[in-house]
Amino acid sequence: MEEKTKDILVEVKNLKKYFSVKKGFFGKNTVYTKAVDDVSFYIRKGETFGLVGESGCGKTTTGRCITRLYDITSGEIYFRGKEIGRVKERSLKNIRKEIQMIFQDPYASLNSRMTVRDIIGEPLDIHNIGNESERQEIIYELLNKVGLKKEHSNRFPHEFSGGQRQRIGIARALAVEPSFIVCDEPISALDVSIQAQVVNMLEDLQKDMGLTYLFIAHDLSMVKHISDRIGVMYLGKIVEIASSKELYNKPKHPYTKALLSAIPIPDPDVTEKRQTVVLEGEVPSPINPPAGCRFRTRCKYAMDICKEKEPKLNDVDEEHFVACHLLKSSS
């Protein structure tokens, strides 16, 4: 166990994030959307942990809780062994320097009235890094790192393509030399032809700068190459965690199997042999999720116990965790 948890940079324990949805006069009948509901995982230094699931499963909310863009409802978040989940806003400055975020939409995440120089320079100002000429040099260096040129610094976001805008967002995230970056669907809004370029660049930056990533995506094919380990989320819960190789070759949870079977394989022989798992029905509401296993309303293996008892995330193989009554814990 000691070996397994060696070099942990980020650890999330029993994280919950509920959003209140007020109903009726004076918010009398307040109900809660359980966006993240008792999620635990860890990320080692220098690795990429992929977090995958359908839209609304809670993956982005999890990322925003870790970066402390959202206050958490309960649970603990550790960064370098220090609990940061309850740190007050005024003490967050140092954490924000260490933990940065790259956003999904490169159009919406950049201020259209600021030049690239001002966008990348803003975090340097906030954290009082360098004098004016040093900042200028840092900005040029960052532009170079993300494959842009010095002359781009005087331009505005609308003068760039989607891929270039995402590079600007990455340069901004790198400005304060963070050690951990939450990449929230950073390639989903980009053309397929550009996606691989951005993923390769993120991998190169990781090697050069010793970065650790939480890489969020809605599709397993997007995280396959970049992730060392992957967590699969469904309706606010993690249902499976394994190394990228293990998850692709030996998925164990019925939901992971369904997600994997939806990935097109450009080889007709493999496609023919592969069993397609079609997910029936819609994802239930996170306001009133099913009792027991949350996946049971769409699971073809559902048994009586699945209605009655919530499956725990058990270690079923070497660092392969699954929450399903079909599988027994290895311990």
Q: How far from 41 is each of 193, 220, 302, CA to CA, in Å? A: 32, 18, 26
Contact 120, 171 (CB under 8 A): yes
3 state SS of 270: helix
- Is 10 a binding residue for ligand SF4 by CB under 6 A? The answer is no
List binders of ligand SF4 among 141-160 (CB under 6 A). none
Q: Quickly list DSSP for 126-156.
A: HTT-S-HHHHHHHHHHHHHHTT--GGGGGS-
The dihedral of CA 128, 129, 133, 139: what is its sign? negative
Question: Cα-flanking dihedrals φ and ψ of residue 122, to 5°?
Answer: -55, -50
- Is 259 a binding residue for ligand SF4 by CB under 6 A? The answer is no
Q: For residues 136 and 130, what is the distance between their CA atoms, to the nearest angstrom?
A: 9
Looking at beta carbons only, is 199 or 324 nearer to ligand SF4? 324
Build a one-symbol-per-residue string for 104-143: x at contacts with ligand SF4 by CB under 6 A, - elsewhere: ----------------------------------------
User: How many residues belong to the chain?
Assistant: 331
List binders of ligand SF4 among 279-298 (CB under 6 A). 293, 295-296
Q: For residues 186 and 170, what is the distance between their CA atoms, to the nearest angstrom?
A: 9
Looking at beta carbons only, is 54 or 228 nearer to ligand SF4? 54
Residues in contact with ligand SF4, total (CB under 6 A)? 13
Q: For residues 177 and 98, what is the distance between their CA atoms, to the nearest angstrom?
A: 7
Looking at beta carbons only, is 126 or 303 nearer to ligand SF4? 303
Build a one-symbol-per-residue string for 227-256: x at contacts with ligand SF4 by CB under 6 A, - elsewhere: ---------------------------x--
Looking at beta carbons only, is 222 or 293 nearer to ligand SF4? 293
Q: Which stretch binds ligand SF4 (CB under 6 A): 21-29, 46-54, 84-92, 322-330?
A: 322-330
Query: Among residues 10, 143, 260, 299, which is the contact residue for ligand SF4, using CB under 6 A?
Result: 299
- Is 324 a binding residue for ligand SF4 by CB under 6 A? The answer is yes
Q: Which residues bind ligand SF4 (CB under 6 A)?
A: 254, 293, 295-296, 299, 301-303, 306, 311, 324-326
